[in-house]
Structure 1
Amino acid sequence: MRRVRLLVPGNIRHSSGGNVYNAHLVDGLKALGEDVEVTAVEGAWPDASAHERRRLGSLLGAWEPGDRPGPVVVDGLIAVGAADELEFAAKAGRQTWILVHMPLPDTSLAASLRREARALRSATGVICTSSTAATTLAARGLEGVLVALPGTSAAALASGSDPLHLVAVAALLPNKDQLLLLEALAGIRDLPWTASLVGSDSADPTYAEAVRGAIIRLGLTDRVSVRGELSGQTLDAEWDRADLSLLMSQAEAYGMVVTESLARGIPAVVRDGTGAVEALAAGSPAGSEAPDAGGPPALPGAAVVLGTDPAPLESALRTWLTDPGLRARWHDAALAARTRLPGWDVTARTVLDAIALKAPGN
């Protein structure tokens, strides 16, 4: 039996989208009969030390002559910090794949973008977890990028709440922009609603403290709760009481929390211009079309154009809260999308087929 080795960053300990994807991928590959070995690679990825990078090189077989059977799949967060080691692994004839959850932002330092390009070009193949990420890499000149979209696990329909309940499931991090969300919520205090922020408050303690301070400053302590990172039945209960899901990330390659929301029949509002728009359309007949102002196909929510001004988000939420017809359309579209979301078995098969396509002898 062939063994697939997956190298994941050991320094990301909160429930990130990448971690969730990796875990489901492993389960899916095992369900397909594959022997999978997962190694958490310690290091300050992507800015690991020379010692940490050399240890990665050993895991890749970069320094050792001879055959090492089976492909190695390297999480992109590790890969972008280890261009040298991946190039040596390629010269040693290793079959190394890179799984890119999110490319470096275009605003990254030129040297960082060059290292990313070197790492990706040295790989046997590159698999992106969203079409948005693949398009970004293609625009940078990388050819032959494959896409294995995240799957979605079946979930019970949400019951909702009275008053309406909003949930934002994301670690408390500057990129997730909970501060802007709170500013928007403060503008609709005249309407009945409650909200929960669900996600790690230890990934960036300084930002988490700023979020808690904003809740107090904006007079939202009776409306907004910070729940921390939840799992299992506690997380399921939080989803069950939700009527609308919010993801305001400034940058997002996909946004699996959006499809997790749709799997429960909960519509979502996301930031326009991010990969979360792709996730919002995942269950629509039109595939990855962005939502528009009510034209077909009906999509389960909206993508709001946002900068630093919370007013557009405040307006969108006010409209949803006060327009029963709009709420019904979004909810119906979410129910329809729920039946069309692909499972994680599709993701695993896509990755496995990609690896097999470039296996030695093919």
Structure 2
Amino acid sequence: MQKTALSIVIPLLNEADSLAELQAWIDSVLESSQLSYEVIYIDDGSTDSSWDAISELSRKRNENQNPNPIKGIKFQKNYGKSQALHAGFELAQGTVVITMDADLQDSPNEIPELYQMITEGNFDLVSGWKKKRYDSVLSKNLPSKLFNWAARTTSGVKLNDFNCGLKAYKSEVVKNIDVHGEMHRYIPVLVKNAGYKKITQKEVVHQARKYGSTKFGYERFINGFLDLITIAFISKYGKRPMHLFGSLGVIMFLIGFVIAGYVGSSKLYRMTYDLPYSLVTNNPWFFIALTSMILGTLFFIAGFLGELILRNSHQGTRYKVAEEI
């Protein structure tokens, strides 16, 4: 059985109006490429007729006996883009996996060159760069530039647009990264942390939204920064939490211990030479020392528990599939 050359993974939420046009565009681009491909739609709990549109596209494809299948997964509820991508990555069978959004803002015309960069350029990941955007400057452009600067600074991955939905991967890459929570924004960092170093970018065309409205609100600003802190921590200490919490705990405990020793020895000195002294509990340094030792102990315990959880954890179900094509 010949292996599929290309898998196109498309997560979506309430994009019924654009799906037929998007699929026709993909087919028109790839029909002359002689590549075998599959298109995988992940309906992330849409409340419109998106699933009906996917089902109809798949039915027509089967009736026409087209060898390039259309597959679909429908989530029971809205789990988020990261979970949708994870499900698509698990289902993908192509040698190269390309992700794109369903809102027609990502151009399928980019697909052949992205495929070529993976297969001939031997890159692990090629990330799209929407250099010229048609989004609002205040609500998207400026926050996006800030996020990308922060991500480059903390991760060392030199990309201009981490959150671009249009990306191409080697199959083994998507099978070896764990996309969860809201980490779809920082997939290039996850790829780097998984040991894949050949990461580059390609300037891609950004289309103005044709149907509907964006599904991301202003809360993504806060979530993005929190996710960046999380991934920065995971990148360095995700597999060794004791190195961070244990070190902090030991340092704080030693600081408290030294201060407590000074307070205690100072009182003993005054008592020995019959100098005026007061109760240790009247000295503010005593409480500073006590607090430091307690916090140090708690940090150490947190690191120890983190190590135990890491070694005994197993991945649970991230989503519940309602239907599948």
- TM-score, normalised on structure 2? 0.31
TM-score by length of 1: 0.28
Using CA pairs below 8 Å that are at least 6 residues apart, which structure has the higher relative contact order?
2
The structure with the largest alpha-carbon Rg is 2
- Per residue, is there more helix in 1 or in 2? 2
